[in-house]
Amino acid sequence: MAMDHHPDRKDGDHERMQNIQSAYDILKDPERRARYDTTGSTDAVTPAEVSLGQLVANAVENGNWSGNIVDDMRNQVKCAVRNIRAANFNHRKAIDTFEKRIGRVVGLPIVDAALQSKVEHLTSVIAVNETEATTLEGVLELLVDATDSQGSQPAWSVLGPP
């Protein structure tokens, strides 16, 4: 195909040749091919787009929707964000408790070291959770204007039965 459209050939098409070369470049690069297979684009994708792609793939693969797939995805994402925020609230309370106990046990520095280690661990968990929550909030933004083209009909009428 590439030879048929090579610009040096009679009736060659430079633009068509560039498109063929671009497709070849995507197919030979595993990362770009995976991105294209997931999103339909080779453009850099945001973490929210990746998460949304995974959410859609899971919904289709597992058939885990009850009606309108867009509403179901919104609800799943909102629930996940609430759970993350609740977990981080509890982690912050634990950190406060541990920090108050540091230095209270005299003569056993290992206790302080263990408490400090736990504080550092929970702090890093909170940071990871916040990144995930921010990503999921980006997914919600992507879903703001999305609608199931079938309106209130079950999503399986569009995607096939679960």
Q: For each of the chain's 162 residues, which pLDDT tens digit applies?
A: 666 767 777 777 777 777 777 777 778 878 777 767 766 666 655 677 767 777 777 777 776 666 677 787 888 888 889 999 999 999 999 999 999 999 888 788 899 999 999 999 999 999 999 998 998 888 888 887 676 555 444 333 333 333
Give the residue from 98, 51, 91, 95 showing the smallest Cα distance to 73.
Answer: 51
If you ran DSSP here, which 8-state letter would residue 105 be given?
Answer: S
Q: What is the largest CA-CA distance in the chain?
A: 89
Where exactly are the structural domains of the chain?
1-45, 47-159
- pTM of structure: 0.57
**CB burial readout 72-108, b (16+ within 10 A) else e:** bbbebbeebbeebeeebeebeeebeebeeeeeeeeee
